[in-house]
């Protein structure tokens, strides 16, 4: 599965290029709890087709009812307007919040763009597919759109005159090793919106690969990491347990701005890895500070799919800027568990009494 924003914009481009009317809805403000964050987008076609999401579904249903003739079983709305973009709020009253499935006290505001220009959409999609970060500015007076390359991701901004939103490129994940655990993790990453590349020079592992949608390469991992050019929207995860494949690749990854660099393995394997990198590659505790391991959050996982859930949860937490509690860290959680198992009567909250 691909990045949702790109999918929405590409679908809207195709509708408009085919001569169909369409609407682009963007969440521009929220108050209290909201089912979707600011910047979320959805597209609506004149035939009632929808791609993307701005709520749990009820607001999408209301937009279909209001702006198309395709809402089955109900009186049609008034059709899709033309002209300048307009704002609409949902959840202003408790009754309306309940009607549209918004959490208690939640309100959101949408900007609705009617019949966005097909050529502008085509240029934006082409840039995003090429890996370019793009800034899209909508002039509120008339809906005219300007596009410009962006140098860093920025939060959506709306003023009295314009809406400015930054799109793409999609988040990327490089997985080293094509084993069973990688298949589960790649699957989860794909449906979480990551573009996934899998690297494994071992033919016997590549030959058994069965996850469609992930790019598989056979070069040596350190060369692949260099060519991957990881940025702040990228993560690199080593999953082979083989120092010959993992170590050099991890060192290359640590030179980049990747938001997450980690390797699978037990606490003992992780300590051995750090020792190798210090003794043989002139690394220091400080230079290895960004190297995560054992990776994942502690959920007592034993099987490959459960371990993949654990790892994916940690990656998403780091991506979203969530600081995980210490007791969710695999290494600390297992240490505390070992202490409790050795003498449960002499432990309080995971800490041995003096």
215 and 146, same domain (yes or no) = no
Residue 235 lies in a domain: yes
Assign 3-class secondary structure to the chain. CCCHHHHHHHHHHHHHHCCCCEEEEEEEEEECCCCCCCCCEEEEECCCCEEECCCCCHHHHHHHHHHCCCCCCCCCCCCCCCCCCEEEEECCCHHHHHHCCCCCCCEEEEEEEECCCHHHHHHHHHHHHCCCCEEEEEECCCCCEEEEECCCCCCCEECCCEEEEEECCCCEEEEECCCHHHHHHHHHHHHCCCEEEEECCCHHHHCCCCCCCCEEECCCHHHHHHHHCCCCCEEEEECCCCHHHHHHHHHHHHCCCCCEEEECCCHHHHHHHHHHHHHHHCCCCCCCCCEECCCCECCCCCCHHHHHHHHHHHHHHHHCCCCCCHHHEHHHHHHHHHHHHHCHHHEECCEECC
> Same domain, yes or no, for 145 and 224?
no
Both 193 and 158 in a single domain? no
**Is the peptide bond prior to 294 cis by the omega test (within 30 degrees of 0)?**
yes
Residue 102 in any domain: the answer is: yes
- Please give the pLDDT value at position 234: 93
Same domain for 281 and 251: yes
Question: How confident is the chain (354 residues) per 10-residue block, as mean pLDDT?
Answer: 80 97 95 78 94 85 81 56 92 60 70 97 90 91 96 87 88 94 94 89 91 91 95 93 94 96 93 94 92 92 94 94 78 65 52 43
Same domain, 194 and 124: no
- On whether residue 88 sits in a domain, the answer given is yes
Are 160 and 229 in the same domain? no
Q: What is the pLDDT of residue 153?
A: 73
* Pair 212, 272 in one domain: yes
Residue 132 sits in the same domain as residue 247: no
127 within some domain: yes
Give the predicted TM-score (pTM) of the model: 0.65
Contacts (Cβ under 8 Å, ≥6 apart) of 281: 247, 251
- Judge whether 55 and 36 are in contact, CB under 8 Å: yes
Q: Which of 140, 167, 194 is the last residue of a domain?
A: 167
Domain shared by 154 and 219, yes or no: no
User: CA-to-CA distance for 96 and 216, rounded, in angstroms?
Assistant: 48
Check residue 104 and give its pLDDT.
52
Number of separate domains in the chain: 2
Residues 62 and 152 grouped into a single domain: yes
- Quick one: CA torsion of 116, 191, 312, 223, rounded to 10 degrees? -80
Is residue 338 a part of any domain in this protein?
Answer: no
Residues near 73 by Cβ (< 8 Å), separated by ≥ 6? Answer: none
Query: What is the spatial distance between Cα 152 and Cα 145, in angstroms, rounded to a whole number?
Result: 20
Residue 101 and residue 210 in one domain: no
Range(s) of the domain holding residue 76:
4-167
Between CA 131 and CA 174 the distance in angstroms is 15
Task: Say if 59 falls within a structural domain.
Answer: yes
152: in domain: yes
Last residue of a domain, one of 100, 132, 167: 167
- Please check whether residues 145 and 235 belong to one and the same domain: no
How high is the pLDDT of residue 72?
45
Question: Is residue 336 one of the residues assigned to a domain?
Answer: no
User: What is the domain-level CATH number for residue 179?
Assistant: 3.40.50.720
């Amino acid at each position: 599965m691909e990045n949702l924003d790109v999918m929405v914009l590409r679908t809207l481009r195709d509708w408009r290029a085919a001569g169909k009317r369409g609407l682009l809805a963007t969440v521009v403000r929220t108050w209290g709890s909201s089912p979707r964050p600011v910047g979320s987008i959805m597209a609506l076609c004149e035939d009632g087709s929808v791609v993307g999401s701005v709520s749990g579904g009820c607001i999408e249903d209301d937009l279909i009812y209001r702006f198309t003739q395709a809402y089955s079983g109900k009186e049609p709305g008034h059709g899709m307007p033309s002209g300048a973009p307009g704002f609409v709020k949902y959840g202003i009253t408790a009754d309306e919040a309940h009607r549209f499935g918004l959490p208690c006290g939640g309100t959101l505001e949408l900007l609705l763009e009617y019949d966005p220009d097909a050529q502008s959409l085509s240029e934006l999609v082409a840039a995003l597919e090429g890996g370019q970060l793009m800034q899209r500015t909508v002039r509120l007076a008339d809906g005219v759109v300007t596009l410009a390359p962006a140098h860093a991701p920025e939060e959506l901004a709306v003023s009295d005159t314009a809406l400015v939103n930054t799109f793409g490129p999609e988040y990327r994940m490089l997985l080293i090793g094509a084993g069973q655990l990688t298949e589960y993790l790649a699957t989860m990453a794909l449906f979480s919106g990551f573009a996934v590349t899998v690297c494994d020079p071992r033919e016997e592992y590549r030959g058994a690969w069965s996850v469609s949608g992930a790019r598989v390469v056979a070069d040596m991992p350190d060369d692949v990491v260099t060519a991957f050019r990881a940025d702040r929207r990228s993560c690199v995860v080593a999953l082979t347990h083989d120092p010959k494949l993992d170590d050099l690749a991890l060192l290359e990854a640590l030179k980049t701005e990747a938001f997450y660099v980690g390797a699978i393995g037990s606490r003992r394997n992780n300590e051995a890895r750090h020792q190798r990198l210090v003794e043989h590659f002139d690394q220091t505790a400080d230079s290895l500070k960004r190297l995560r391991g054992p990776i994942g959050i502690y959920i007592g996982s034993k099987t490959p799919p459960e371990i993949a859930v654990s790892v994916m949860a940690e990656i998403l937490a780091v991506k979203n800027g969530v600081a995980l509690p210490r007791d969710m860290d695999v290494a600390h959680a297992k240490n505390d568990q070992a202490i409790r198992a050795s003498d449960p009567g002499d432990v309080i909250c995971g800490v041995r009494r003096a």
